[in-house]
Copies of this chain bind each other. A is one copy, B any other.
Amino acid sequence: MLKKHTNSAYEAELDQLRDKILLMGGYVEEAIAQAMEALKDRDSEKAKRVISRDKLINTLELEIDELCVELLALRQPAGSDLRLIITGLKISTDLERMGDLVVNLCERVIELSREPLLKPLIDLPHMANLAMGMVREALDAYVKHDASAAKEVCERDDEVDNLDSQIVRELLTYMMEKPGSITRGLGLIMVTRYLERIADHATNISEMVIFLVKGKDVRHRGIGD
């Protein structure tokens, strides 16, 4: 690990950036967990609460971006500091999109809560847990500058993708069998897709973390060269 900056205010600002991103990630995780509970319990109130808490995430995005702009304008960052800040800028976007996806998810939850559940939820919570774990570990990797942990997160995206297609296939079968379940089935498909996309964003974050640590961009591997 590197020494501290001679300029302690700079050091503090970088710490603040890390803290804010962790906090934002925490909010996102919490939102996913609450949303899944709301789905399971068909609790539209809880879903509404999650939606209203999204503005915390939005505010944090703005704060993080502002902090990054300030750091770039005033500190002339270089090397790993620069990559930390750029990664921060990108991660904040991803986290905010995750927040938005959770909001969408909650909207579906509210719709779904009007009717009984189509079938017992088994795979979906599992998928949600996977996605949450990916978010948590991606951000851990960010703060710890841990590229190998980030790489692991990337690899776990396949698992989520498989679950996603499996669930969708299952639901489609359901819907074809029972036309009355189409709306609900569609709702659940949407929920699955949202979770899948949340996991995608976690993967994006992990790729940025690898860039942060190694200085190499690993996105779209195989096409660069």
The answer to whether the Cβ of A220 comes within 8 Å of any Cβ in the partner chain is yes
Q: A residues 7-59 with Cβ under 8 Å of B? A: 55, 58-59
Say if the beta carbon of A93 comes within 8 Å of chain B: yes
> Which positions 171-190 of chain A face chain B at CB distance < 8 Å?
172, 175-176, 179-180, 182-183, 186, 189
Interface residues of A in 57-107 (CB under 8 A from B): 58-59, 61-62, 65-66, 68-69, 72-73, 76-78, 82-83, 86, 89-90, 93
Quick one: given A72-B72, A224-B59, are A217 and B82 in contact (CB under 8 Å)?
Answer: no
Chain B residues whose C-beta falls within 8 Å of the C-beta of A2 in the assembled complex: none
Which residues does chain B contribute within 8 Å of A61, judged by CB atoms?
A: 219-220
Q: Is the CB of B220 within 8 A of A55?
A: yes
30 CB < 8 A contacts A-B: A55-B220, A55-B223, A58-B219, A58-B220, A58-B223, A59-B224, A61-B219, A61-B220, A62-B219, A66-B217, A68-B86, A69-B82, A69-B83, A69-B86, A72-B77, A72-B82, A73-B78, A73-B82, A76-B76, A89-B89, A90-B93, A93-B93, A172-B183, A172-B186, A175-B179, A176-B180, A176-B183, A179-B182, A182-B182, A186-B186
17 extra A-B contacts, CB within 8 A, seeds A55-B223, A76-B76, A179-B179 = A55-B220, A58-B220, A58-B223, A59-B220, A62-B219, A62-B224, A65-B86, A69-B82, A72-B72, A72-B77, A72-B86, A73-B82, A90-B93, A172-B183, A176-B179, A176-B183, A182-B182
